[in-house]
Amino acid sequence: MHLLLLGVSHRTAPVELRERVDFARRGVAAAHEALAARPGLAETVVLSTCNRSEVYVACARPEETAAELARFMAAFHEVPDAELEPHVFRLVDGEVASHLFRVAAGLDSLVVGEPQILGQVKEAYAAATAGRRTGPLLNRLFHASFTVGKRVRSQTGLGEGAVSVSYAAVSLARKIFGDLSGLNVLILGAGEMAKLTAIHLQAQNVRKVVVASRTLQSAELLASRIGGEAIEWSAVDAGLAGSAIVITATGATTPVLTRDRIRAAMRRRGDHPLFVIDIALPRDVEPGAGELDQVFLYNIDDLRAIVHENLARRAAELERAEAIVSQEVAQYEQWLRSRGAVPTVVALRRRFEDIRLAELERLEGKLSGLPPEAKERVDEITHLIVEKLLLTPTEQLKAAHDEKAVVTYSDVLNRLFGLGAADTGRRCEAREDGDKDEDPGSSGGGSAS
Amino acid sequence: MPFLTFAFYVASAAAYAAHFARRDRRSGQLATALLVAATVAHTFLIGMARMQAGYMPVVGTTAAISFFVWLLALAYLYTEITTEERAMGAFITPLLALLQLIPALDAGAPGARPAVLESPLFAVHVSSVLFAYASFALACMIGVTYVLLFKEIKAKHLGFFYARLPSLQVLDKMNMRAVRIGWTFLTIGVVIGAVWALTADVKASSDPRAQAMSVLDPKIFVALVSWALYSFQLLARRAMRWGARRSAWLSAIGFVVVLLNFLPVGYFLTKSHNF
């Protein structure tokens, strides 16, 4: 069995194409149904976000299945093959694990370290299991990816710090005021940035957003769009005294809020902290106002600097995150390889057990004089000897470093013990599910008394 | 046992520091567990001393320090559990470990209680003053962290403390709450002390320490100074509209005065309280 991944992501395709191949348009369930009808796909998971549309597959023949999947993608999304083909990337086995782990860790995201993606990967997996589309390979793969996501989040600083100007403003406000509910926000001006920051603040349940602009109409327009309240420009001083957060974004050429004006407002508000976010260019607030005791003044450049710093800090954490990914990929690959040895291990054990039973049967006559407990003991001892003999070969087989070694070992064992390839193949199919329970070598010696 | 208690405090200080730097859950839980262990061991220690002596084991500066550390550890644990905020532990536990070093090195068995202290007021006076000091210690550390975080936000350089401390608003609330509680208990302690000193028993005592009970004795004088300082802090906040930053500074400075009174004055200068 092999892993295979066909997909389109923000790295390989423009947004126009990504929109057209978004599985969410027709529903992931429909995609699973369509995939189930195609041949050769033993297990499938469909991962669909606004930045990527990917199909994870476990199959026996990756070459043929890849072609089949490409045809499916084109047909399902009704995009001509020739148009889609240059943007599709294809990965197999270890590459698939590495890719999914990086995705789950947020390393492949547009904004590195963003936290939503892990949830999206979990949803994709849940949808596939609900449709009974996963098996041992993908189950293990996706569970490992959740571990990677969690480890990267808890052991590195990859997801820390705001990486957008609006969110940086919100996180600052939270660091000053703690809980933002119950606070009033005053917006001066009616620009797009003011609106964006106000929307972010509203998500924090602020009590009231008040908008003032040079004309009452434009203030009313913005207020109605964000669910706030418009006030006359002449009422700004009162608004200043009653708000904890002020966002200024007017087009004025001279400072609207002078140091003296803010000082007067601070007196009226009993020296409660005031957070002033000046996102206007040229600036709306006199820089000297930031020196007042409980006034926290940030302009657009300050916020950009914070974002920049946070991005740099995330970049510094990349290496640690990548190390976690490589570690987990190595573990998964090891497991994948050990599965290649399973048929041989099973056949070998079967062979040994057959010999043991045959010998016991042959000696039946000689043993018949023994009391039942002694007979049981003989059975137990012979079983133990077989287990002990098989322990090292089993471990060695499962720990084989590469596919070649597994094949060589299997080949040698087949010849030396006359195991027969057909036999091993059949058993492999039978063992597809729940190979943990029958894991050869792990139950050895359990009956020793 | 005194050394074990001290060792637990040191270990918890190290764990809180590690948690502050790394911010992972496991080191935080370890830190809390170690501090709980230290407090339990310390409770046992104080309980034993109580049994041995037959009275509250707070006679003498060393015993008082041990009792103070115990109260501060309890007060901090209470704050940590109610606010789910471990950052302050990195500031409190080193103080605990440092102060506990004194009783760990000098853990003489409690001797007989001087006759002058044989009064029901003794335990109330000492424990309310010590509890006040513990609250002030907490307020001091909170004040220090407030100033550190305030400076980072003002300087627009969001770094180490920004990522680790709770918001300014929360720190301010915690600070003022600790100061209010501390002020209340200090007032109770001082009033009871004064009433007690004026009773006939003390006045009639031939103990030179009882004779030295006066407002001009260094220990009593500095205690009154710190009471005035904290009273001013509460008043300034309410009536003079002083901001949170100034309150934080006052908390930080106020405890320096308290500590001054506790250690050098308590050991070397006072003539009235050197039991």
User: Cβ–Cβ contacts within 10 Å for residue A353, how many?
Assistant: 15
Q: Are A90 and A48 in contact (CB under 8 A)?
A: no
Decide: B143 and B178 in contact? Cβ < 8 Å. no
Checking if the pLDDT of A300 tops 50, the result is yes
Supply the DSSP string of A126-148, one letter for each residue. HHHHHTT---HHHHHHHHHHHHH
- A105-118 in b/e form (b: 16+ CB < 10 A) is bbbbbeebbeeebb
Q: How far apart are CA A42 and CA B112, in angstroms?
A: 85
Residue from A50, A381, A399, A421 carrying the catalytic annotation: A50
pLDDT at B213: 66
pLDDT tens digits, residue range A301-339?
898 888 888 888 888 888 889 999 999 999 998 888 777
By the 8 A CB rule, do A356 and A386 touch? yes
* Section A264-280 average pLDDT: 87
| Residue B102 near residue B131, CB atoms below 8 Å | no
Residues of A in contact with B156 (CB under 8 A): 298, 302, 305-306
Tell me which chain B residue has its CA closest to the CA of residue A151: B24
Tell me what pLDDT residue A144 has: 94
Instruction: Say whether pLDDT at A445 is over 70.
Output: no
Residues from chain A that touch B239, judged by Cβ atoms under 8 A, are: none
C-alpha separations of A269 from A239, A397, B27, B225, B242 in Å? 11, 76, 42, 32, 12
* Best residue in B142, B161, B167 for a mutation probing chain A (most A CBs within 10 Å): B167
Element (H, E) at A43: strand A43-49
* DSSP H helices in chain B: 2-22, 25-53, 61-83, 89-105, 120-154, 160-164, 168-197, 200-204, 208-211, 218-238, 244-260
Percent of chain A at pLDDT > 90 equals 30
Predicted confidence at residue B143, as pLDDT, reads: 93
Q: What is the DSSP string of A384-424?
A: HHHHHHHHHHHHHHHT-SSHHHHHHHHHHHHHHHT--HHHH
Pairing of strands A229-231, A89-92: unpaired
Q: Hey, of B84, B153, B174, B245, which one would you mutate to test binding to chain A, going by the most A CBs within 10 A of its CB?
A: B153
**Structure confidence by residue, pLDDT tens digits, A54-80:** 999 999 888 999 999 999 999 999 999
Helix (H, G, I), strand (E, B) or coil at A5: strand
Residue B10 class from Cβ within 10 Å (0-12 exposed, 13-18 middle, 19+ buried)? buried
Q: What angle do CA A37, A39, A43 make, to 5 degrees?
A: 80
B92 within 8 A of B72, measured Cβ to Cβ: yes
Please compute the mean of the pLDDT values over residues A118-123 and round it to a whole number. 92
Share of chain A above pLDDT 70, in %: 93
Contact A271 B243 (CB under 8 A): yes
**Residue A8: which H helix or E strand, with range?**
strand A2-9
A176 to B153: CB separation less than 8 angstroms, yes or no:
yes
Residue of A nearest to B238 (CA): A270
Give the residue with greater pLDDT, A249 vs B24: A249
CB contact under 8 Å between A160 and B167, yes or no, is: no
Say whether residue B170 is in contact with chain A using an 8 A CB cutoff: yes
State whether A273 and B169 contact (CB < 8 Å): yes
Beta bridge partners of A9: A52
Of the candidates A129, A138, A110, the residue with the CA atom closest to the CA atom of residue A42: A138
What is the reported pLDDT for B115?
63
What residue of B is the nearest CA neighbor of A175?
A: B167
* Residue in chain A nearest B241 by alpha carbon: A270
Contacts of A203 (CB under 8 A, 6+ apart): A170
Residues of A in contact with B246 (CB under 8 A): 293
Determine contact, residues B179/B233, Cβ cutoff 8 Å: yes
Work out the minimum CA distance from A305 to partner chain B, whole angstroms. Answer: 9
Q: How many CA atoms lie within 13 A of A289 on its CB side?
A: 29
| pLDDT at residue number A104 | 94
Q: Is A50 a catalytic residue?
A: yes
Q: Is B167 touching A (CB cutoff 8 A)?
A: yes
Residue A298: beta bridge partners? A277
Does residue B156 sit at the A interface (CB-CB below 8 Å)?
A: yes
Contact call for residues A102 and A325 (beta carbons, < 8 A): yes
Q: How far apart are CA A212 and CA A210, in angstroms?
A: 7
pLDDT of residue B113: 64
Cβ pair B169:A290 closer than 8 A: no
Mark yes or no for CB contact A176/B166 under 8 Å.
Answer: no
Task: Report the C-alpha gap between A246 and A309 in whole angstroms.
Answer: 24
Q: Which residues of A touch B249 (CB under 8 A)?
A: none
**pLDDT-derived band of residue A113, with 50, 70 and 90 as boundaries?**
confident
A178–B25 CB contact, under 8 Å: no
B164 reaches A (C-beta below 8 A): no
Round to whole Å and give the CA distance between B3 and B66. Answer: 12
**pLDDT tens profile A144-197:** 999 999 999 888 888 777 777 888 888 899 899 988 888 999 999 877 777 877
**Tell me, what's the pLDDT at A274?**
93
Q: Do the interacting molecules here have an ipTM over 0.85?
A: no
- Residue B212 is predicted with a pLDDT of 63
CB pair distance less than 8 Å for B162 and A306? no
Measured distance CA(A78)–CA(A392) in Å, rounded: 54
Tokens (6 digits) for A212: 């003032």
| Residue A208 DSSP symbol | E
Amino acid at B76: Y
User: How many whole angstroms separate alpha carbon A236 and alpha carbon A213?
Assistant: 9
Residue indicated by tokens 């403390």: B161
Taking the Cβ of residue B245 and every Cβ of chain A, the question of whether any pair is shorter than 8 Å is answered with: yes
Q: For the residues A340-360, what does the mean pLDDT come to?
A: 87
What is the Cα–Cα distance from A257 to A243, expressed in whole angstroms? 14
Q: Chain B residue with minimal CA distance to A304?
A: B156
User: Does the beta-carbon distance from A175 to B154 stay under 8 Å?
Assistant: no
Predicted confidence at residue A437, as pLDDT, reads 38
pLDDT at A184: 92
Distance of CA A72 to the CA centre of its chain: 25
* The most confident of A39-43, A96-100, B79-83, B108-112, by mean pLDDT: A96-100
Q: How confident is the model at residue A430, as a pLDDT?
A: 36
* pLDDT-wise least confident of A202-216, A266-280, B81-95, B259-273: B259-273
Dihedral pair phi/psi, residue A405, rounded to 5°: -60, -40
Q: What is the pLDDT along chain B (275 residues), one digit of tens a residue?
A: 778 888 899 999 999 999 888 877 888 889 999 999 989 988 888 888 877 777 777 677 778 888 889 999 998 999 888 888 888 899 999 989 888 888 777 756 555 666 666 677 777 888 888 889 889 988 999 999 999 999 999 888 887 888 888 899 889 988 998 899 999 999 999 898 888 877 766 666 666 666 666 767 777 888 888 899 899 988 888 887 788 888 899 999 988 888 888 777 766 666 666 66
Interface of A with B (CB under 8 A): 154-155, 160-161, 172, 174-179, 270-271, 273, 290, 293-294, 296, 298, 302, 305-306, 309
State pTM to two decimals: 0.68
A444 pLDDT band (50/70/90 cuts)? very low
Is the pLDDT at A432 greater than 50? The verdict is: no
Strand-strand pairing, A274-278 and A245-248? parallel
- Residues paired with residue A2 on neighbouring β-strands, in sequence order: A59
Greatest Cα pair distance, chain B, in angstroms, is 63
Q: What is the pLDDT of chain A when averaged over all its residues? A: 85
